[in-house]
Chains A and B, each alone.
Chain A
Amino acid sequence: MQIAGPITRTLTPGLDTGARLERRRQLLCLGLAAPALLALGVFLFYPVVRLLLRSVFDPSPTLDNYVRAFAVPQYLGVLWYTLQTSVTVTILCLVLGYPLAYALAEARGSARSVMLVFLLLPFWTSIMVRTYAWMVILGDQGLINTWLLQLGIISRKLPLLFNSFAVHVGMVHYLLPFAVLPMFSIMVRLDRTLLRAAQSLGAGPWHVFWRVYLPLSLPGVLAGALLVFILATGFFVTPSQLGGRSDVMVAQLIQLQIMRFTNWGFGGALAVLLLVLVALALLLYSRVGRLSTLWGMGE
């Protein structure tokens, strides 16, 4: 015979108040987040969803925009180049950023503050200015070529600008802090006693690093990789200014279709393809790592 339900509720007042308290806490959370959610919803998600809808409804329900994106060879080629470049830039940022993050995590007090300032200082400069600076450094009459020629190290100018090399340099320069900061935040919270324990068990410095430190810092590495990759796929100023004629990334084509040609359906389709690329990266990440580490939970 069931005597649960109403009788249970009156017989266990503690549970009832607990549940109500929890719901109030939930509502409070929602209330606090509501303004930000509303802003995000109105200014980010709503326009994005409208653009995505346009890609299949402009001018009438049709998949023509997607057919065009796949049929005209240049678009897939550009998407492929975007993917390639984003992956290489991500790897470069991780390789260069890991030792930097390590040094930051090991530094103490004022040394760390100074290093952080230098790492974050470039954010105060606009990307256009930084890109032009690279043109001055890498150009045929630029700093590097002039110095190397004068020192006699080279006899002919090196083609450092208007090619893939320059694009990579410019992108890595901009994205490096985005790789370093997540790695640094994980490394700094690493339990040092684990390293000492490994040493006390007889592990040499290389083994301590390879078997203990590196695996523990991996969540930071993955978070940094994901962040850099997502940002890299959307780049268009750097490739258009520093790149050669074949260094075209998909964001440049989207900009062309949307701003200049007002083909919002087709631009939307290209944007959807880019979004799919990023979503695939997120999917890959969620298989390999924990998505929750992206926002600091679960560790």
Chain B
Amino acid sequence: MEATPAADTAPGVLTRRAFLRILAGTSLTLAGLGLASTATAAPRSAPAAQSGTVKILSAGGQLDECFRQTIWTPYAQESGLSIVDIGGSEPAKIKAAFEANNVEWDICEAWTEVIAAGIPAGWFVEVPWDQLSNGGDLFPELRGTTFARYGVPIFLFSSVLGYNTNTYQSPDAAPKSWADFWDTDKFPGPRALYAFPEHQLEIALLADGVPPDQLYPLDVDRAFKSLDRIKPHIKTFYETGAQQVQLLSSGEVVMSSVWNGRMFAAKRDGQPVDFTFNQGILAVDHYAVLKGGPNTPDAWKVMNAMIDPKKQAALAGCIGYGPTNSKAFDGMDPALAAQLPSSPQNKPLQAIQDLASWSQMAQAITERYNAWKLG
């Protein structure tokens, strides 16, 4: 049924069989060489420290824009260093870099799955807290966490209840708690949740009546039972910050769990959205220094700049994420402070996420959450 026999076997024609054999041979040889080389790889000698350049594997998007504007570019000018940020930090990229013995970044954003993969694999350099002059001014509870050994807490963000202001035209009419989110009689309409379980399980437990200080260790079964009750009203699950804003401002959903920084920027842009800090889930975002990076000494200088109080205050003004340095609130515009998750009036309303337990169970719970979404 294939090509006519004559054409296939005429002398001199590169037959398909021959072609496929060559291709298979090449790729299997290369694969074999590849396996052999990784098995016997001698660690590459660290490249000569690129003095003056610090590379950051960061989150990308609007967050990086703000970092550049308020911290990286100003500090680069002050110190004479060159700071290059590369967006798109994913655990897979870092793992691939370590396997190839070629870690090309100094600093990376260490979010939950990065931590989960990185600590057992030994990706991070221990933080030399005595060398970081700003380190002493960080909120004490952030210095005491398990991950503070390897990562520097840079900002605080919250998952909060966001809603569309065309539907709820005054804060009194709007939902104020996760119980309200679950109350589809009093507040009818489609909702959205995050495509990953982080913070969503906490939200489900709070909606079910669990007091914020008794959230951890998470009663996962109870959380999923609670989620089952709201599932028919979830129109879609957002994966990015941009999606959250789009869903709410377009009115596709009337309320959603959102990241406060996104709401901060959207409100500033005049979008019809608002949110409440009540029952928010407060989380820490760390940055870490990678072992074998090209310029570790200067990396710590940049890290110190990232926890400088003035710079953190400027970052907060740009993206609405909370400073981790308590001195950043000194002399801050009260209107701005009112919008930040870590400010004195907002912090007590929220529950603080337990990052350690999340990084251990993130994978298993995500699989269960995906199954729950499909079911």
Contact residue among B4, B13, B35, B251 (Cβ-Cβ distance under 8 Å from A141): B251
Residue of A nearest to B117 (CB): A262
Q: Shortest CB–CB separation between residue B201 and chain A, in angstroms?
A: 16
Task: Type the 1/0 row for A227-246, where 1 means its CB is closer than 8 Å to any CB of B.
Answer: 00000000000001101111
Known contacts A140-B251, A260-B90, A260-B91; decide if A78 and B374 are in contact (CB<8 Å). yes
B176 within 8 Å of A (CB atoms): no
Contact B31 A22 (CB under 8 A): no
Which residues from chain A contact B250 at a C-beta distance below 8 Å? 139, 141
Task: Type the 1/0 row for B240-274, where 1 means its CB is closer than 8 Å to any CB of A.
Answer: 00010010001110000000000000000000000
Tell me the bound Cα distance from A259 to B88 in angstroms: 11
Which residues from chain B contact A243 at a C-beta distance below 8 Å? 236
Contact residue among A22, A49, A132, A162 (Cβ-Cβ distance under 8 Å from B235): A162
B2 within 8 Å of A (CB atoms): yes
Contact A41 B23 (CB under 8 A): yes
Contact A49 B27 (CB under 8 A): yes
Contact residue among A29, A37, A246, A298 (Cβ-Cβ distance under 8 Å from B3): A298
Contact B7 A260 (CB under 8 A): no
Tell me the bound Cα distance from A261 to B90 in angstroms: 9
A251 within 8 Å of B (CB atoms): no
Known contacts A261-B363, A286-B1, A290-B3; decide if A74 and B371 are in contact (CB<8 Å). yes
A269 within 8 Å of B (CB atoms): no
B14 within 8 Å of A (CB atoms): yes
B338 within 8 Å of A (CB atoms): no
Which residues from chain B contact A74 at a C-beta distance below 8 Å? 367, 370-371, 374
Q: How large is the interface on B (under 10, 10 to 19, 20 to 34, 35 or more residues)?
A: 35 or more
Tell me the bound Cα distance from A21 to B11 in angstroms: 10
Contact residue among B34, B113, B370 (Cβ-Cβ distance under 8 Å from A46): B34
Residue of B nearest to A51 (CB): B31
B46 within 8 Å of A (CB atoms): no
Contact B370 A248 (CB under 8 A): yes
Q: Shortest CB–CB separation between residue A43 and chain B, in angstroms?
A: 11
Tell me the bound Cα distance from A42 to B235 in angstroms: 44
A8 within 8 Å of B (CB atoms): no
Task: Type the 1/0 row for A19-59, where 1 means its CB is closer than 8 Å to any CB of B.
Answer: 10111011001100000010011100110111001000000
Known contacts A46-B31, A46-B34, A297-B3; decide if A258 and B11 are in contact (CB<8 Å). no
Residue of B nearest to A30 (CB): B14
Task: Type the 1/0 row for B269-282, where 1 means its CB is closer than 8 Å to any CB of A.
Answer: 00000000000000
Q: Shortest CB–CB separation between residue A218 and chain B, in angstroms?
A: 14
Contact residue among B28, B95, B239, B367 (Cβ-Cβ distance under 8 Å from A72): B367
Task: Spell out A's residues near B (CB within 8 Å).
Answer: 19, 21-23, 25-26, 29-30, 37, 40-42, 45-46, 48-50, 53, 72-74, 77-78, 132, 135, 139-141, 161-162, 240-241, 243-246, 248, 253, 256, 258-264, 286-287, 290-292, 297-298
Task: Spell out B's residues near A (CB within 8 Å).
Answer: 1-4, 7, 11-14, 22-23, 26-28, 30-31, 34-35, 90-92, 95, 113, 117, 195, 231, 234-237, 239, 243, 246, 250-252, 363, 366-367, 370-371, 373-374
| CB<8 Å pairs between A and B, sample of 28 | A21-B12, A23-B12, A25-B12, A37-B22, A37-B26, A41-B23, A41-B27, A45-B23, A49-B30, A50-B34, A53-B31, A74-B367, A132-B246, A135-B246, A140-B251, A141-B251, A241-B243, A243-B236, A245-B231, A246-B373, A256-B370, A258-B92, A262-B91, A262-B117, A264-B95, A286-B2, A287-B1, A298-B4
The 7 closest A-B pairs by CB, nearest first: A22-B12, A45-B27, A49-B31, A162-B236, A292-B3, A46-B30, A245-B373
